[in-house]
Structure formats: C-alpha cells, structure tokens
Copies of this chain bind each other. A is one copy, B any other.
Amino acid sequence: MEKSELSDRLRAVRAGAPLVHCITNFVTVNDCANIILAAGGNPSMPFDAREVEEAVAGADALVLNLGAVDWLDAMVLAGKRANALGIPVVLDPVAAGVTQLRRDASRQLLEEVRFAAVRGNASEIRTLALGCAAGSGVDVAAADAVTEDTLPRAVELCRRLARERGTVAVISGPTDILSDGETTLLLRNGCATMSRITGSGCMVTSLMGAFCGAGREAPLAAAAAAMAVMGLAGEQAEALRLERGTGNASFRTDLIDHVFTMTEQDLEGGARCEVYQG
C-alpha cells in the first residue's frame, strides 16, 4: 500500500467531517468523542434503543463497542439500520472472550450485522474467529500475544475472520495485522505507553469509524490509516513524555492533541506499513 493512500484517507476525513455515531462504554466515551473531533469528524453518542435507528440514519458511520453490552438491543437495531442504509459499521469486541455474555453478544452481532471493519486485540479476534473463551480483563492474554514466531498463525486468524464475515479484520498489538481476506497489511507504529492509558483500543476503533465513514470505497486503506494515525500520534506523545518526564495522563492528552495536529506529511513520513507476503 502506498503511503499516499493513507494520507488520502486522512484528507478525506478532514474534508468530509463525517458524523460518527458510537454506541460505546462509558469508561472511555469522552476520549472517543474527542479523538473523533481531533481527526476532523463529529461524534454522536445516543444509545437508547428507542432512538438509535433514527439517530444513525443521519450518520456517516456507526461504531459498536462491546463494552456497551448492556445496550445490545440498541446496537443490533442501529447496526441493522446502518446496513440497510449503506452506512459502514465498525465493531470493537472489547473483552469478547472474557464472559459468556460477551461471547454470546459478539456472536449475535456478527450474525445480525455486516461490519466494514472489526478491530480487537489478538484474544478478542481469536474469540470472534473461533468462538472460544480467552483472557481476563480487557488486555490481550499472554498466550495470545503475537510474536514474530506466531505472526503467521495470527495472520491466518485475521484472514479467516475477514473472509468469513466479509470485513476488514484488524488485530492490534505491537505489530498490527489488517486483512480484507485478500490483502494483508502489517503496521508497526505505536508505543507501549498506549497500554498504560484506558481506551487506546476504543479510541482507535472510533477513529476507524471516522475513516470508514469518509472512505467507504476503500475500507482496508481507511482502517490502516486510522491505525497509523493513532500509532504515530502515540509515538509523538511518547517522545514528549520521555522529554518531560511526565506520565500516562499527560500522554493521553498529548496523544489526542497529535491526532488533531497530524499533517498528511507526518503520516506519510511516519507510517510503517507493509504488505504481508505469505
């Protein structure tokens, strides 16, 4: 993938100012809204089942976050309505493997809603692809962490989910894997401090909503651009953190700031994206 394809996606978000409807958990909802705004989109957060179909009809993209499993009915209604209207839907299967409630809910969502993209950590994507339990909490289980050795197996899982569901599947981690079933990309941006704030995953999925909303014609590039913008903003924020000796709270602020200030040149210069050959 040419780097200009990534910066094209960023330009499209800034030009299109997509309205991104999110049904998401309240732990990180404020950060999700602010990072959508930082990228150039506009967030919309209604979650009441009585109004989501009407609200989503005016949106350019829909993001469903399994952390909002309490509002599963609203997620299904909104997802179906978005599908009917051709509005791209993005799924973040937060902690999908951790409880039976979430395994059931994620299976139902995959069966009733078509997703333009699905992004999770390796444990979450494994659960979606194979239906199995995995992990505790919201972080990837140690056994699922992708290393250079296990990369081919993780790519296979990612492709499988992409093909079975007709979606762009994304496993995020130190190396991100993105696949539409045909083309598979590896992305090596980001930093470890991103896992020391809450909501890095939720935020990048929200960005993905904005990028897919402004780039329906190129969902793989849209997903890759969202991941690259987030990872690169993380690297820029980490450089500031190390320079200033600050902590994770400043890092969170700086990360969102760097999404706001990121230029197309920054993105082309900093993205480390390659097509996976294998």
Chain A residues at the B interface, C-beta cutoff of 8 Å:
19, 25-31, 33-34, 37-38, 42-48, 50-51, 54-55, 58-59, 67, 69-70, 95, 98-102, 135-139, 196-199, 245-250, 252-261
Query: Which chain B residues lie closer than 8 Å to A261 at the CB level?
Result: 245-247
Which one of B19, B43, B98, B248 contacts A34 once the chains associate, using CB atoms below 8 Å?
A: B248
Residue of B nearest to A137 (CB): B44
Could you pull out 24 A-B pairs where Cβ atoms are within 8 angstroms? A26-B27, A27-B30, A37-B198, A37-B248, A42-B138, A42-B139, A43-B137, A43-B138, A43-B198, A45-B67, A46-B95, A51-B99, A51-B102, A54-B98, A58-B137, A59-B136, A196-B260, A246-B261, A248-B257, A248-B260, A249-B255, A249-B256, A249-B260, A250-B254
Task: Give min CB distance, A236 to chain B, whole Å.
Answer: 11
- A38-B196, A58-B136 are known contacts; what are 13 more A-B pairs with Cβ within 8 Å? A30-B199, A34-B252, A37-B196, A46-B69, A51-B69, A54-B100, A54-B101, A55-B95, A59-B136, A59-B137, A196-B260, A247-B258, A249-B256
Query: Which chain B residues lie closer than 8 Å to A254 at the CB level?
Result: 249-250
Residue of B nearest to A259 (CB): B247
